[in-house]
Amino acid sequence: MSASPVTLRVRVRYAETDQMGVVYYANYLIWFEMGRAEYCRQMGFSYANLESNGFRLMVADAHCRYKAPARYDEVVRIETSIQELKKKTLVFGYKIFNDTTNQLLAQGYTKHVCTDLQGKLVRLPESFMACLLPSSPGAHA
């Protein structure tokens, strides 16, 4: 849906490994979070801002498929794109690569809904949606 994915590189921390000698599986969801924050940032929209304006982006759904392990000290590349954008839901897609070998390590998505500070479901703010897909014709209509 979005033109090209937004890229973020991150070096694997010792804290992220487990006794199998690879990155513990839950930590990929942290990389996903970093990926979508970077996506927003590069679109000129800080996620921190969204919160200070009274909105929260809750995760409704998360999925990750693990292809190959990431290891300590490697640099992984997180590629984030928007897979779906509706009035009330937003789906980010992610691919995690070993940045040296370009091997695909994992891929997944997170689905989000927007709430106000009381937790009530609301529409995604217009200004946020416009930022997320700046180059799409529809966004400027």
Q: Known catalytic residues? A: 18
CA proximity to 29, closest of 103, 107, 124, 119? 107
Long-range contact pairs involving 46-50 (C-beta distance under 8 Å, separation at least 24): 50/125, 50/128
If the CB atoms of residues 115 and 136 are measured against a copy of itself, the closer one turns out to be 115
Total residues contacting a copy of itself by CB under 8 A comes to 38
What minimum distance in Å lies between the beta carbon of 113 and a copy of itself? 10
What minimum distance in Å lies between the beta carbon of 2 and a copy of itself? 21
- Say whether residue 27 binds a copy of itself (CB under 8 A): yes
Region binding a copy of itself by CB under 8 A among candidate stretches 24-32, 79-87, 90-98, 131-139: 24-32
- Say whether residue 3 binds a copy of itself (CB under 8 A): no
CA-based diameter of the chain, in Å?
53
Q: How many CB atoms lie within 10 A of CB 3?
A: 11
Phi and psi (nearest 5°) for 73? 80, -10
Q: How many CB atoms lie within 10 A of CB 44?
A: 10
- The footprint of a copy of itself (CB under 8 A) covers 11, 13-15, 17-22, 24-27, 29-30, 33-34, 37, 46-48, 51, 56, 58-66, 69, 72-73, 110, 119
